[in-house]
Amino acid sequence: MCKKNKPTNQKEMSFIEKARRAQIVECAIETIAEVGYAQASLGQIAKRAKISKGVISYHFANKEELLEQIAIEYYLAWQSYIAPRVEVQKSPKEMLRVYIESNLTFVDENRKHVFAVIEMVSNKITADGKLQFAADHDEVVLLPIENILTQGMQEGVFREFTRPSARVMALTIRNAIDGFTMELMRKPHLDIQEYTRELITIFDASTKK
């Protein structure tokens, strides 16, 4: 029995088990990206994966856990892409530039996955009306950018943002990136370089002292 395994005890999973889960998650991502969250039934996902619906239920306690896994994998991939690129920068200004740059590149190179998560964040309102999932998303995603901004303030290279934690500025940058993602979904042939350059210009100007 592997059901009801929370992600926390994933150490107990066998290699093959992890591989199967990964495969299913991959198919779920593609399905959501292609047909949208609302249409992404387990049946659809199973069909794409060429497995039976039951398999999904076997490996994941329920649909929610599967979706959760998509988010988890996304965050891990995202962090391991962004963090090292940002950290090697010398100045907050450079860090901000690279943050924006690498985010847009990451989106471009992981369109399906990113789109799937965006879809999920948009839709995931839990039954009891809370926005838990989306909130988590924001907290995790917002932190790095807030750190850059705070550091810039402390070093005196950025202007003073509204406190605490330059939240508005951070959110605006995040919204710009997420909004870009959705625009990219609508218009896949967007000129990403142009978009990147302009966004950097915008936020360079708006953080400058």
Partner DNA sequence: AATGAATGAGGTTTCATTCAT
Partner DNA sequence: TATGAATGAAACCTCATTCAT
Six token digits for residue 22: 């990964």
For the beta carbon of residue 47, count every other beta carbon within 10 angstroms: 14
Three-state DSSP at 208 gives strand
Q: Which residues does 131 contact at the CB level (< 8 Å), separation at least 6?
A: 124, 125
Closer residue to DNA (CB): 59 or 93 = 59
Instruction: Tell me the C-alpha distance between 39 and 67, whole Å.
Output: 14
User: Can you tell me which of 14, 15, 162, 189 binds a second copy, judged by CB under 8 A?
Assistant: 162
Q: Is 140 in the site for a second copy (CB under 8 A)?
A: no
Closer residue to DNA (CB): 121 or 166 = 121
Contact 86, 147 (CB under 8 A): no
Residues 44-83 that bind DNA (CB under 7 A): 44, 51-59, 61-64
Six token digits for residue 196: 């990147």
User: Can you tell me which of 100, 119, 149, 158 binds a second copy, judged by CB under 8 A?
Assistant: 119
Site for a second copy, rule CB under 8 A? 1, 34-39, 47, 119, 122-123, 125, 127, 129, 131, 134-135, 138, 161-162, 168-169, 171-172, 174-176, 178-180, 182-183, 185-186, 194-195, 197-199, 201-203, 205-206, 208
